[in-house]
């Protein structure tokens, strides 16, 4: 009975000491946070440390206080003391990893705040942000691995297994390397991307026929935010083994074109002046490049290209749309003759245009002469008499031409010189001149 009472008293004493230690740790953590915050009023880093480390500090102090209370109030021979100390050791490893990770995050955020992303030329800031983001993920991975390894080493069986693993590390490393070849390749590719500056966060890229921005870079994959709000997830090895376009590799400003296929009669000079007027009306143009040129003239059309510039890719897209809409509106209002059109040509009977027709017998030798002289009858040869083809009057020929298909434009006839023989080709190809 006395033994049970003594054990109960020891347990109650231990619980009281633990409760007192928890309260003391909470008060001490609050005091430390207040002191750091008061000492760092003018320091953004100190304020972040006070805010981020408030909970990790209290957790570490609480575990330490409980451990001290248990060791002070119990004997080494207490049956449950080794199990409690083992649990407290594991808890201390966990909260210690939490505390180290919080400090790492504060330092990384402090470095990020020094580089602003809302400036016109933020190439250096994007590079630093990309590297810090990858370092943060790498730091978290290292802290987690170390914490898990530390927890496992607190178990005697795990320590024995670790020794046997080290003994056969060569074979296991080969097997693990072959099994995780793709994953390891992506991890090393992610580190290579971060520190070789091939791509950065917020870079404008074109890959797999898609246009988008680099939204996130991890150790194993890259997230591309496409123009229509889709996300394209690409493995890190893609950016180290496959060619792709990076529009903001050196600078964010870009050049863009607006091409129009127009008629040969388009007034290029006034159209160039209209382009300058349009560029002067918008803030999308960065005033670097704004020219208009005729780059091609084939197939009955001329290709007019407007070359403009903007300070980044989204602004360039909006500027191209603005210029295209403005030039089309100007063509409709001020230069409709420059709108694309199709010219046609047709084959026309040249003799019909002269008022004569060789096929009607006009200008041809007399049939009586061709048959052997005047007064000779075709029946004298014993052959059948062919019916004579009636001659068409000028009015009938005019009616036939009136029924012909209508061709827009003016038909320019190629005439013959005086005394020239009729053409052997009954048709002549004439050009159609716009009316």
Domain co-membership, 119 together with 237:
no
Nearest-angstrom CA–CA distance, 201 and 282: 29
Q: What CATH number did the domain enclosing 223 receive?
A: 2.30.30.60
Domain co-membership, 296 together with 425:
no
Domain co-membership, 356 together with 331:
no
Tell me the two tokens of residue 97.
């990893």
| Per-residue confidence (pLDDT) for residue 260, from 0 to 100 | 94
| Per-residue confidence (pLDDT) for residue 230, from 0 to 100 | 92
pLDDT at 211 over 80: yes
Domain co-membership, 396 together with 268:
no
Tell me the two tokens of residue 273.
């002046």
Domain co-membership, 375 together with 407:
yes
pLDDT digit string, tens, across residues 277-328? 999 999 999 889 999 999 999 888 999 999 999 988 888 999 999 999 999 9
**Domain tally, the chain:** 4
> 63 versus 111: which is more confidently predicted?
63
Nearest-angstrom CA–CA distance, 140 and 337: 67
| Per-residue confidence (pLDDT) for residue 145, from 0 to 100 | 84
Domain assignment present for 106: yes
Domain assignment present for 385: no
Domain co-membership, 81 together with 166:
yes
> 399 versus 211: which is more confidently predicted?
211
Only one residue has tokens 């019916």, namely 387
Using a 10 angstrom Cβ sphere, with 0-12 exposed, 13-18 middle and 19 or more buried, the burial of residue 189 is buried
Domain co-membership, 364 together with 328:
no
| Per-residue confidence (pLDDT) for residue 313, from 0 to 100 | 83
- Out of 78-87, 97-106, 179-188, 385-394, pick the least confident: 385-394
Instruction: Give the domain-ending residue among 190, 212, 227.
Output: 190
pLDDT at 133 over 50: yes
pLDDT at 352 over 90: no
| Per-residue confidence (pLDDT) for residue 295, from 0 to 100 | 92
> 141 versus 434: which is more confidently predicted?
141
- Out of 62-76, 196-210, 342-356, pick the least confident: 342-356
Domain assignment present for 47: yes
Domain assignment present for 325: yes
Of the candidates 180, 179, 193, 177, which has an alpha carbon nearest to the alpha carbon of residue 238?
193
Domain co-membership, 232 together with 215:
yes
Range of the domain at 27: 2-190
- Out of 8-17, 253-262, 395-404, pick the least confident: 395-404
CB-CB contact of 319 with 285 (8 Å) = yes
Q: What is the pTM of this model?
A: 0.52
Across 321-336, average pLDDT: 94
Domain co-membership, 210 together with 297:
no
Domain co-membership, 178 together with 231:
no
Tell me the backbone φ, ψ of residue 287, rounded to 5 degrees: 70, 20
pLDDT at 368 over 80: no
| % of the chain exceeding 90 in pLDDT | 20
Domain assignment present for 291: yes
Phi-psi region of 218 (alpha: psi -120 to 50; beta: other; left: phi over 0): beta
pLDDT at 360 over 80: no
Give the relative orientation of helices 169-179 and 156-167 as an angle to the nearest 10 degrees. Answer: 90
Domain assignment present for 314: yes
Domain assignment present for 122: yes
Domain assignment present for 386: no
- Give residues with Cβ within 8 angstroms of 33, minimum separation 6: 50, 53, 54, 57
| Per-residue confidence (pLDDT) for residue 178, from 0 to 100 | 53
Q: Which DSSP string corresponds to 317-336?
A: HHHHHHHHHHHHHHHHHH-G
Cα separations (Å) of 71 from 10, 60, 75? Answer: 12, 17, 7
| Per-residue confidence (pLDDT) for residue 179, from 0 to 100 | 52
- Out of 46-60, 158-172, 342-356, 408-422, pick the least confident: 408-422
Instruction: Give the domain-ending residue among 246, 281, 312.
Output: 246
| % of the chain exceeding 70 in pLDDT | 69
| Per-residue confidence (pLDDT) for residue 81, from 0 to 100 | 78
Q: What CATH number did the domain enclosing 306 receive?
A: 3.30.70.100
Nearest-angstrom CA–CA distance, 262 and 300: 9
Domain co-membership, 216 together with 182:
no
Domain co-membership, 111 together with 60:
yes
């Amino acid at each position: 009975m006395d033994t049970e009472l003594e054990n109960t008293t020891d347990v109650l004493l231990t619980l009281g000491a633990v409760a007192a230690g928890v309260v003391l740790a909470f008060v001490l953590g609050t005091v430390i946070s207040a002191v750091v915050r008061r000492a760092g009023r003018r320091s953004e880093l100190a304020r972040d440390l006070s805010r981020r480390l408030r909970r990790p500090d209290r957790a570490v102090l609480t575990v330490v206080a409980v451990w001290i209370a248990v060791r002070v109030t119990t004997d080494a021979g207490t049956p449950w003391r080794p199990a409690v100390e083992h649990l407290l050791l594991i808890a201390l490893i966990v909260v210690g990893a939490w505390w180290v990770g919080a400090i790492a995050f504060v330092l990384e955020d402090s470095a990020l705040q020094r580089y602003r992303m809302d400036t016109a030329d933020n190439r250096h800031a994007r590079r630093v942000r990309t590297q810090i983001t990858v370092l943060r993920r790498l730091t978290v991975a290292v802290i987690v691995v170390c914490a898990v390894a530390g927890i496992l080493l607190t178990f005697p069986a795990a320590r024995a297994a670790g020794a046997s693993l080290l003994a056969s590390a060569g074979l296991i490393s080969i097997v693990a390397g072959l099994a995780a070849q793709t994953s390891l390749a992506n991890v090393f590719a992610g580190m290579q991307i971060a520190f070789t500056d091939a791509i950065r966060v917020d870079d404008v890229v074109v890959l797999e026929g898609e246009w988008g921005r680099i939204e996130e870079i991890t150790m194993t994959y890259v997230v591309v935010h496409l123009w229509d709000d889709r996300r394209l997830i690409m493995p890190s090895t893609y950016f180290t083994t496959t060619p792709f376009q990076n529009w903001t590799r050196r600078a964010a400003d870009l050049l863009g074109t607006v091409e129009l296929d127009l008629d040969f009669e388009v007034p290029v000079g006034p159209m160039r002046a209209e382009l300058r007027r349009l560029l002067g009306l918008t803030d999308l143009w960065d005033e670097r490049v704004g020219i208009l040129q005729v780059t091609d003239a084939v197939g009955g059309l001329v290709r007019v290209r407007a070359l403009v510039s903007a300070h980044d890719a989204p602004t360039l897209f909006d500027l191209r749309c603005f210029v295209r809409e403005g030039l089309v509106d100007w063509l409709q209002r001020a230069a409709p003759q420059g709108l694309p059109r199709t010219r046609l040509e047709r084959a026309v009977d040249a003799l019909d245009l002269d008022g004569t027709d060789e096929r009607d017998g006009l200008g041809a030798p007399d049939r009586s002469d061709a048959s052997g002289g005047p007064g000779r009858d075709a029946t004298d040869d014993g052959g059948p008499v062919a019916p004579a083809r009636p001659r068409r009057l000028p009015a009938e020929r005019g009616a036939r031409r009136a029924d012909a298909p209508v061709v827009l434009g003016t038909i320019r006839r190629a005439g013959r010189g005086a005394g020239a023989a009729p053409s052997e080709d009954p048709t002549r190809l004439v050009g159609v001149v716009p009316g």
